[in-house]
Structures are given as structure tokens and as C-alpha cells.
């Protein structure tokens, strides 16, 4: 397919906020796409060139992109920089500069999806001496052959500023609409995606084998499965009323990791499918030794352990194990214990389709307790009193709380269901839980904070129905000086001049940012607010009262943040807790 057709659709998508319209535009584009190109097109629609778990990133900043524009157009770097400062959009700048070319190459070729994607892939994967110059030349080659709006799309893609307003759910809807005219195939497509974390692969199989091929998909070793999520209830009595007799599992405050073994190959992924194998050589060795099957996928929570005091360390200590350098030394300094709690796949069998009691039985059979990998602690509770005693024991030992599990429930990848219910020690206050919020803007520092350039955050929660982020809190407390400097440096790189299309806000921060960074907040309570847009009806929404930062969650995607529906549930849960304690 001609890349120009893709650009025209992307331009139209940028102009609409309607999810239905976005779906229809994508479905039409897919209908014109050959089965040999659909995988590449889906990755481009995601703003990626490969699934998250491959670890392949484009890695091309604005300065290199400006050099490529200069090389392709003949314009001086100073002119490009001046135009960029004026427009605030390097894609628009590229389009403007390249439109002024007085002479076109005699060997100019029409761009196709395959050509654009292949150059992007080479840019992402080339390394070594001279690789920077090669990246510039590969990008310039595309720009030389581009026309009309193609330069804008190309530059926005390589600089991470593609503004389509699509989420994975929209792409799944479009694939269903392509075949049936409706979204009826979305559940089957989503299930397959949740089991593989590769939307391009799902589209390719769907084009080739239709729904039959999609329904045959089972977990694939070395392809992470999107994690199941837990619901909340107020107390032990409510959990037993909901589940009846259940398994109750200790909830550890560490890294939730998904571990894959495929023969001698071991891979470890974060909850947002990032490859983390190289960070945990101690866990890799333990998996090879303790997992007694050829292929397996299981989940565990890794938590730092103090061998001298025989106690678990807080998350702030555990997170220091996430590093690119000095890995071996840090592993010796801060050893981890991996508490295995879910089996998803073993030797060709899809255990996500087995009830929990069967998954747990097989987990204990194929993974033997050892120094590094241990089974999560569980009990069976028939009464609220039994559940409460175990909860109190877990909290007394410094853990977060418990997860209650329906013994007959399947593992529901990528979804939040009452198959799992969490009860955390934070529920003992007025606010029923911490909040994972997405940063959508920030404020410049004033007074004592002037030197850091950072004063506070504007945060939002995720509305998964409309694929938008709705504000819930301005956060100005809970920051260390080191964190303030980190936020200024990090957020400045993803700052944008205009409010992102997928953000709903009545508040104007000093700088908007692309919604991608997740932070954990605590607060005194959730209150009604005329200012914030979360769950807004008429003139009132919901907001956090006296919010404070507790953690930076680089292990979560923006779409993994607390949802608007969860905030409404927490608001109601909070009222029940307050009434109970009154």
C-alpha cells in the first residue's frame, strides 16, 4: 500500500475525537491493506515498530531528526530550528521545509508501508560505530522520497509525537468491524491479544485464518501475557459474602514479574511487558534450577529480603534493583525472593483456561520451594474471621495485605474481575486504596522550588470507555529534592505545547505532557469537585483531597492506571468504610 494513503487516514484521525469515527477510519484503512503488510501497519498505528516485550525502540531524538530534515531538504539547521520554535511541531516544520524544495531527486520513489517500516526498523536496530550517521541517512532517504503530508507523519513517528488518539482497543474494534461491520468479534480478538501481547501478530493471523485462527491461539513462551487484575471490597465480610469459601494469598509489595522458560532460554517481563531479564541474573539462574518442566510461564512477586534481619524490605528498596548498570553487584547487595503465585502455561497446556485450584496444584508440583523462588503463602478461608486473622498476620509482617481468589475461576488475562479481590492495609484509613494516576501536566517551581524547575503535577485517571484521561488531582507534596529534579528532567522531554487530544481537563498547567508516566498517590479521601473532570456529571466531578506522591511507577503503562470506574467504586467503598467506622 502507498504510505500516502496511511498519512491521509492519520490526518483524518487527528481531527476527530469520536472513538466510533476513529474505528471506522481504521477499518476502512485495514480493508485496503494486504495481508503481507497488515502486521507492519498495526505496529505503525500503535506508534511502535515492534511489541513492547521485544525491547526494540526507535531511539531517535529531535536533534537527529532535524539533521535528517536538513540533509533531505538542503535547508540549514538554523532555519529548521527557528521554524520549529515557531510551530512547536517538528512534523509540521519538516512538511513546510520539504515543500519548499526547488529541486526533487531524479530517482525519487513512491513510499510504501513496507519501505517506511523497514527503514524505521533499521534505524531502531542498527548499532556500533557510525550508526548515528546511518540513522540520519535512513530517515533522510524517506524524507527525500516523501510528498504532501508524509514528512509530517514520518517525523512525528520517529520523535514519538504521533497523535492519533487510538488505543489498542480501537484497533481491535476496527479489525472486528472490518470482517463483520460490528464489534462482535472484539472479545475473541482481545482474548488472543491478551495472551500474546502482540497486536500485529493477531492482525496477521486474523487476515490469514479468520476467527478460527484467533480462537486457536494459546500462550506462547517468550511472549508475555497481559496480567489479570483484582477488584476491591471493603472488608473480610464483604469478600466472603462475594466469593464464599476462597483461597487467600499474601499480597507482597514488590515487582510483579512474569517469568518464561523455553528450554534453556529464560525471559522475565514487567507487568507492562518490558523485558527485564538482564536486571535479574539471580532470578534467571533460580528459574533454570527450580522450574522442573521444559516450558513454562508463571507469575511471581519479587521483593527485597534482608538476610540479617530475615525481613522483607519496602518497595522503595526493591525498586533499586531495576537498573541497567552494576546489576551483579546490586544483586548481591539486595537479594530478592520471588514468590510464585500463578501458573499460566506449562509444556503445551494453556493453564489460563484451568480453574485456580488446578493452576495452584500444578504450580506447586513443577516449582519446588527454594531459597530464591518460593510459593506465595496461602490459606483457605471459609469465614470472615479466618480471612481477617490472615490479613492481620500479613500486615504485621510488613506486607500490603491479601488477595482473595475464587478457587474455580479461570485466569482472565488483561481484565479486572471479581475472580480476584484485594484487601490492603491502606483500607484502614478513609481513602479505600492508593491511586495510580497518569501525569498529564506539570507546574514550574516557585519560591524554594525555583532551582529545580518543578513545582507539582497535574494528574488524571483513565476512562477506558472513551480512551481519555480525566483529571483528578493537582499534586504539590510528597516530593524529595531528587524527585523534583527527576520530574523536571523527565517531563520536559515529553512536554507538548497543546493539551493532548485524549486529555479532558478544565485546568491549565504550565506545561502539558504526553500521558505516559504513572505515579502512585495517596490522599485523605475522594471528594466531589467542580474543577476536576473525573466522573463529572453536570458541574461536579471527583477529586483527591490532600493528595501526596508515594511512588513513581515506571513499571506501569498509562492505560494500566486506575480507571474512572474504579474511582467511582472507591468513592462508594470509602463511604461504606466511613459509615462502618462511625
Per-domain residue ranges for the chain?
3-158, 229-428, 435-581
Q: How much is the average pLDDT of 544-567? A: 88
| Contact by Cβ (8 Å): 250, 402 | yes
Q: What is the pLDDT of residues 247-258, one digit of tens each?
A: 999 999 888 999
Give the count of beta carbons closer than 10 Å to the beta carbon of residue 352.
22
251 has catalytic annotation:
yes
Q: How confident is the model at residue 579 (pLDDT cuts 50, 70, 90)?
A: very low
Extract the C-alpha cell encoding 237.
465480610
Scanning the structure block, which residue is given the C-alpha cell 493528595?
547
List pLDDT tens digits, range 456-491: 999 999 998 888 999 999 998 878 888 888 998 899
Cβ partners under 8 Å of residue 226, min gap 6: 193, 194, 195, 197, 273, 413, 414
Taking only the tens place, the pLDDT of each residue in 158-167 is: 988 887 767 8
Alpha-carbon distance of 299 to 338, in angstroms, equals 9
Residues 93, 97: Cα–Cα separation, whole Å: 6
Please identify which of the residues 40, 251, 261, 556 carries the catalytic annotation.
Answer: 251
DSSP code, position 539: T
Residue 70 is predicted with a pLDDT of 93
At residue 103 the predicted structure's pLDDT band, cuts being 50, 70 and 90, is low
What mean pLDDT comes out for the span 362-368? Answer: 96
Q: pTM higher than 0.85, yes or no?
A: no
Q: Tell me, what's the pLDDT at 450?
A: 65
C-alpha Rg value of the chain to the nearest Å: 25
User: Which sign, positive or negative, has the C-alpha torsion 424, 425, 426, 430?
Assistant: positive
- Whole-angstrom CA distances from 350 to 199, 216, 295, 410 are 20, 11, 11, 11
What average pLDDT does this structure show over 199-210? 96
pLDDT at 194: 96
Let me know if the fold of 229-428 is the same as that of 435-581: no
Cα–Cα distance for residue pair 230/137, rounded to 1 Å: 48
**Average pLDDT of the residues in 429-433:** 56
The confidence score (pLDDT) of residue 230 equals 92
pLDDT, one tens digit per residue, over 25-74 is 999 999 999 999 999 999 999 999 999 899 998 878 889 999 999 999 98
| 577 confidence band (pLDDT: 50, 70, 90) | low
Alpha helices of 323-421 — where are they, by DSSP H?
327-333, 356-366, 384-396
Element (H, E) at 395: helix 384-396
**Cell matching residue 449:** 522550588
Q: What residues are paired with 513 via a beta bridge? A: 495
Angle made by CA atoms 514, 59, 114, in degrees to the nearest 5: 100
Rounded-to-10 torsion of CA 405, 411, 416, 417: -50
pLDDT of residue 50: 94
Q: Comparing C-alpha atoms, which of 101, 109, 174, 103 is closest to residue 142? A: 109
Residue for grid cell 471527583: 542
Grid cell for residue 344: 499460566
486 by Cβ neighbours in 10 Å (0-12 / 13-18 / 19+) ranks as: middle
Q: What local confidence, expressed as pLDDT, does residue 1 receive?
A: 92
User: 229-428: CATH homologous superfamily?
Assistant: DNA ligase/mRNA capping enzyme (3.30.470.30)
Considering the domain 3-158 in this protein, what is its CATH number? 1.10.3260.10
Q: Which fold has domain 435-581?
A: OB fold (Dihydrolipoamide Acetyltransferase, E2P) (2.40.50)
Residue 36 is predicted with a pLDDT of: 93
Query: Which residues are CB-neighbours of 164 under 8 A, at least 6 positions away?
Result: 10, 13, 14, 22, 45, 47
Whole-angstrom distance, CA of residue 30 vs CA of residue 51: 19
Amino acid at each position: 500500500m502507498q504510505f500516502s494513503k496511511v498519512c491521509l487516514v492519520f490526518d483524518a484521525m487527528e481531527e476527530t475525537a469520536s472513538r466510533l469515527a476513529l474505528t471506522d477510519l481504521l477499518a476502512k484503512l485495514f480493508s485496503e491493506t494486504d495481508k503481507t503488510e497488515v502486521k507492519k501497519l498495526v505496529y505503525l498505528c500503535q506508534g511502535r515498530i515492534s511489541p513492547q516485550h521485544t525491547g526494540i525502540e526507535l531511539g531517535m531524538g529531535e536533534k537527529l531528526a532535524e539533521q535528517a530534515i536538513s540533509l533531505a531538504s538542503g535547508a540549514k539547521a538554523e532555519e529548521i530550528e527557528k521554524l520549529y520554535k515557531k510551530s512547536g511541531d517538528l512534523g509540521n516544520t519538516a512538511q513546510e521545509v520539504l515543500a519548499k524544495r526547488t529541486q526533487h531527486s531524479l530517482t525519487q520513489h513512491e513510499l510504501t508501508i513496507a519501505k517506511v517500516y523497514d527503514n524505521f526498523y533499521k534505524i531502531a536496530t542498527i548499532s556500533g560505530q557510525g550508526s548515528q550517521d546511518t540513522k540520519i541517512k535512513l530517515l533522510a532517504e524517506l524524507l527525500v522520497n516523501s510528498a504532501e503530508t508524509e514528512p509530517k507523519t514520518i517525523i512525528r513517528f520517529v520523535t514519538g509525537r504521533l497523535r492519533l488518539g487510538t488505543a489498542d482497543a480501537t484497533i481491535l474494534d476496527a479489525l472486528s468491524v472490518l470482517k463483520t461491520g460490528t464489534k462482535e468479534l472484539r472479545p475473541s480478538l482481545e482474548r488472543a491479544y491478551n495472551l500474546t501481547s502482540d497486536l500485529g501478530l493477531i492482525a496477521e493471523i486474523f487476515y490469514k485464518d479468520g476467527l478460527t485462527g484467533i480462537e486457536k491461539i494459546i500462550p506462547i513462551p517468550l511472549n508475555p501475557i497481559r496480567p489479570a487484575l483484582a477488584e476491591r471490597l471493603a472488608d473480610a465480610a464483604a469478600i466472603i459474602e462475594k466469593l464464599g469459601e476462597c483461597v487467600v494469598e499474601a499480597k507482597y509489595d514488590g515487582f510483579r514479574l512474569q517469568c518464561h522458560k523455553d528450554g534453556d532460554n529464560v525471559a522475565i517481563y514487567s507487568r507492562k511487558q518490558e523485558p527485564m531479564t538482564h536486571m535479574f541474573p539471580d532470578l534467571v539462574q533460580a528459574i533454570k534450577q527450580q522450574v522442573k518442566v521444559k516450558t513454562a510461564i508463571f507469575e511471581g512477586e519479587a521483593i527485597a529480603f534482608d538476610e540479617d534481619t530475615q525481613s522483607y524490605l519496602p518497595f522503595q528498596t526493591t525498586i533499586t534493583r531495576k537498573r541497567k548498570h552494576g546489576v551483579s553487584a546490586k544483586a548481591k547487595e539486595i537479594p530478592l525472593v520471588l514468590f510464585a503465585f500463578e501458573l499460566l502455561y506449562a509444556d503445551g497446556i494453556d493453564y489460563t483456561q484451568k480453574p485456580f485450584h488446578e493452576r495452584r496444584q500444578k504450580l506447586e508440583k513443577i516449582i519446588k520451594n527454594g531459597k530464591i523462588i518460593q510459593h506465595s503463602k496461602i490459606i483457605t478461608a471459609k469465614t470472615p474471621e479466618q480471612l481477617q486473622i490472615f490479613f492481620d498476620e500479613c500486615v504485621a509482617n510488613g506486607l500490603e495485605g491479601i488477595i482473595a481468589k475464587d478457587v474455580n475461576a479461570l485466569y482472565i488475562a488483561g481484565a479486572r474481575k471479581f475472580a480476584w479481590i484485594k484487601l490492603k492495609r491502606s483500607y484502614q484509613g478513609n481513602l479505600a486504596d492508593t491511586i495510580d494516576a497518569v501525569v498529564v501536566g506539570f507546574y514550574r517551581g516557585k519560591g524554594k522550588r525555583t532551582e529545580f524547575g518543578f513545582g507539582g503535577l497535574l494528574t488524571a485517571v483513565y476512562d477506558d470507555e472513551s480512551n481519555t484521561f480525566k483529571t483528578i488531582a493537582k499534586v504539590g507534596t510528597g516530593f524529595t529534592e531528587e524527585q523534583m529534579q527527576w520530574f523536571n528532567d523527565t517531563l520536559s522531554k515529553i512536554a507538548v505545547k497543546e493539551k493532548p487530544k485524549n486529555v479532558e481537563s478544565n485546568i491549565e498547567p504550565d506545561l502539558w505532557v504526553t500521558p505516559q508516566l504513572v505515579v502512585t498517590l495517596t490522599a485523605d479521601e475522594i471528594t466531589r469537585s467542580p474543577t476536576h473532570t473525573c466522573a463529572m456529571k453536570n458541574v461536579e466531578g471527583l477529586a483527591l483531597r490532600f493528595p501526596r506522591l508515594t511512588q513513581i511507577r515506571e513499571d506501569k503503562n498509562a492505560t494500566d492506571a486506575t480507571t474512572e470506574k474504579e474511582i467511582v467504586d472507591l468513592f462508594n467503598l470509602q463511604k461504606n468504610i466511613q459509615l462502618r467506622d462511625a
